[in-house]
Amino acid sequence: MEHGMQPPAELKTGTTTVALTAKDSVVLASDQRATMGLLIANKKAKKIYKITDRIGATIAGSVADAQAIMDLLKAEAKLFEIQRGRPMSVKALTRLLSNIMFQGRGLYMLGCLVGGYDEDGPQVFYTDYIGSVLSDKYTSSGSGSPVALGVLEAEYQEDLPKAKAIELAIRAVAAAMERDAASGNSILVSVIDKDGYTELPKDKILKIWKKQ
């Protein structure tokens, strides 16, 4: 699908994040390398954010923009819950993010994958720097996304068990890290289901990663 605009060179960022739906959950995964041109600026960058108890988002782009917008989404989602007496849905939060990006139209150097679980079940959305929104069963963002998407295309199946979905997400990010110099160092994984948002322990991720 054409987005109508191509990002300028300064908006092309180095990272790999993936999001996919499983039978009763959503899995978000990312590498942890932050780059500034050819410099590896940080080896433990946070690229997955908890927005609510059942919604998370990955980021690719400017760290400053990401931190500001993730904080804004958290505040707006909390305010919505206080005012309405119910949590914001995954689709509504994604639309809020889309509106913020569209109003800026290139002002914010940021692309996000939003995943969550609500009354409509597990959902994943892709958003870009001008506010486009695409719903999918699996998706990826960042400079390593072509490699990660290749793995997902080859191995994704409907209604994957949670454990298999976690393995696939790790495998997709790990493959991208092998071929994309701007992605690397380590892997983060978060899982969202009816019981809430969980960050996988580093030792568990490493154990699965080394088995690939």
6-15, 67-76, 90-99: the lowest-pLDDT one: 6-15
Distances (CA, A) of 98 to 35, 130, 169, 181, 195: 25, 8, 25, 29, 27
Where residue 33 falls among pLDDT bands split at 50, 70, 90?
A: confident
- The pLDDT, as a whole number, for residue 11 is 43
User: What are the residue boundaries of the structural domains of the chain, listed by start?
Assistant: 10-211
Nearest of 16, 14, 13 to residue 169 by alpha carbon: 16
| Side-chain half-sphere CA neighbours of 48 within 13 A | 27
Active-site hit among 13, 15, 58, 139: 15
B/e letters for 131-163, b = 16+ CB within 10 Å, e = fewer, are bbbeeebbbbbbbbbebbbebbeeebeeebebe
Q: How confident is the model at residue 212 (pLDDT cuts 50, 70, 90)?
A: low
Q: What is the pLDDT of residues 74-131, one digit of tens each?
A: 999 999 999 999 999 999 999 999 999 999 887 899 999 999 999 999 999 999 999 9
Is residue 14 within 8 Å of residue 183, measured between CB atoms? yes
**pLDDT over 80 at 211, yes or no:** no
What CATH number matches the domain at 10-211, 2.60.120.860, 3.60.20.10, 3.30.1490.390, 3.40.50.2020? 3.60.20.10
- Band of the pLDDT at 3, cuts 50, 70, 90? very low
- For 161-210, the pLDDT digits (tens) are 999 999 999 999 999 999 888 888 899 999 999 999 999 999 999 989 88
The pTM score is 0.90
For residue 13, name the pLDDT band (cuts at 50, 70, 90): low
pLDDT tier for residue 138 given thresholds of 50, 70 and 90: very high
pLDDT for res 5: 45
Q: Is residue 35 annotated as part of the catalytic site, yes or no?
A: no
Report the distance separating Cα 183 and Cα 188, nearest Å: 12
Strand segments (E) across the chain? 17-21, 25-31, 34-36, 39-42, 48-52, 55-61, 110-118, 121-127, 133-136, 138-141, 187-193, 196-199
Instruction: Rounding to the nearest 10 degrees, give the CA dihedral for residues 76, 42, 200, 53.
Output: 0
